[in-house]
């Protein structure tokens, strides 16, 4: 009788597990490849829920990170987001009135600055022969700010919570910087007509002009073009061109309501600036503008997310 009889020996459970591991080798390899990827290899805007966990596979905070990623990289619900923009209109009126009263030119309203540039061709006005240069710098910085906020927002995702927080945080920081410069008297709060151009004042004007671009870009991405936040001329025209201007009830024409709200807020901001310039000075007005922008920034942290 043969020493070995019957079929080949069956595989033990350990051998089966080894074979299973080998058969899945490609899958585990792919998983390892993902783990080895750095954040630079995964576009930020295209991977909203990816969190680099290299070296932290057993980190207890991992679910929290995913939750934070999901929260801050989610899009906001644009309903009622016209209210922060109307608030930005108040800030614009406040800042422009303060800027013109103290420094002789605008920081946000670049229609006026364009007129100053044009007057400079003929050497006018006589009282400020270099006003055109300050206006030109303000307009140029505003254009650069538009490019920065437009392409930055598109790269990060125009309606993402993180994008709006970053945009308004930058605006707040620039206003804060201008307020500190004026508060510390590094920048003079008054116009010295004996000096052709005060470059420190130009610095403060440029900071304010740059941040103004952020709010008008936000109004476009939030799809409220009827609230430009920095100009009134077109808004007034659009208001009276509206064939349903007198339509009732008020809730039936939200665009009209937004235009009226933006117009009134801009006007009230300018009125506030006049009172503050008379009683407390330029610095306090800039601090108020900074506080309002900071409140809007914080508002985006808790704004309702898009369903």
- Name the stretches of the chain with pLDDT < 50: 1-8, 17-18, 20-59
Measure the CA–CA gap between 158 and 155, rounded to whole angstroms.
Answer: 8
Measure the CA–CA gap between 29 and 179, rounded to whole angstroms.
Answer: 55
Report the pLDDT value the prediction gives residue 27, as an integer from 0 to 100.
42
Token pair listed for 50: 């990816």
Residue 305 bridge partners (DSSP): 76
Report the pLDDT value the prediction gives residue 266, as an integer from 0 to 100.
96
Report the pLDDT value the prediction gives residue 183, as an integer from 0 to 100.
95
Cβ proximity of 305 and 161 under 8 Å: yes
> What are the boundaries of each domain within the chain?
82-302
Report the pLDDT value the prediction gives residue 63, as an integer from 0 to 100.
84
Report the pLDDT value the prediction gives residue 10, as an integer from 0 to 100.
55
Report the pLDDT value the prediction gives residue 250, as an integer from 0 to 100.
86
Report the pLDDT value the prediction gives residue 65, as an integer from 0 to 100.
85
pLDDT digits (tens, 9 = 90+) for 54-67: 434 344 555 888 88
Largest CA distance in the chain: 125
Domain 82-302 indexed as CATH 1.20.1250: yes
Report the pLDDT value the prediction gives residue 195, as an integer from 0 to 100.
84
State the DSSP string of 77-104: P-TTTHHHHHHHHHHHHHHHHHHHHHHS
Distance between first and last Cα of the chain: 77
On the 0-12 / 13-18 / 19+ scale of CB atoms within 10 A, 249 is exposed
Cβ proximity of 96 and 106 under 8 Å: yes
Report the pLDDT value the prediction gives residue 62, as an integer from 0 to 100.
58
Measure the CA–CA gap between 195 and 192, rounded to whole angstroms.
Answer: 6
pTM of the shown model: 0.78
Token pair listed for 163: 């994008």
């Amino acid at each position: 009788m043969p020493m070995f009889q019957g079929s080949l020996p069956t595989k033990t459970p350990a051998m089966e597990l080894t074979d299973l591991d080998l058969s899945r080798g490609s899958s585990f390899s792919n998983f390892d490849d993902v783990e080895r990827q750095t954040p630079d290899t995964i576009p930020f805007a295209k991977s909203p829920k990816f969190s680099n966990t290299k070296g932290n596979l057993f980190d207890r905070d991992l679910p929290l990170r995913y939750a934070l990623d999901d929260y801050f990289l989610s899009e906001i619900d644009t309903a009622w987001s016209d209210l922060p923009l109307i608030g930005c209109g108040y800030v614009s009126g406040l800042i422009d009135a303060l800027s013109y009263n103290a420094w002789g030119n605008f920081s946000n309203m670049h229609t006026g600055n364009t007129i100053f540039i044009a007057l400079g061709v003929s050497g006018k006005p006589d009282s400020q022969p270099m006003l055109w240069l300050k206006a030109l710098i303000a307009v140029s910085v505003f254009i650069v700010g538009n490019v920065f906020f437009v392409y930055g927002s598109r790269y990060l995702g125009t309606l993402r919570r993180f994008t709006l927080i970053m945009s308004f945080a930058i605006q707040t920081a620039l206003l804060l910087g201008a307020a500190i410069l004026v508060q510390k008297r590094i920048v003079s709060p008054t116009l010295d007509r004996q000096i052709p151009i005060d470059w420190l004042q130009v610095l403060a004007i440029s900071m304010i002009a740059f941040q103004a671009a952020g709010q008008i870009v936000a109004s476009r991405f939030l799809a409220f073009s009827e609230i430009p936040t920095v100009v009134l001329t077109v808004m007034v025209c659009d208001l009276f061109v509206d064939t349903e201007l007198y339509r009732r009830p008020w809730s039936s024409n939200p665009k009209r309501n937004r235009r009226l709200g933006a117009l009134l807020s801009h006007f009230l901001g300018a009125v506030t600036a006049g009172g503050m310039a008379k009683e407390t000075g330029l610095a306090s007005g800039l601090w108020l503008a900074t506080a309002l922008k900071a409140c809007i920034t914080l508002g985006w942290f808790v704004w309702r997310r898009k369903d």
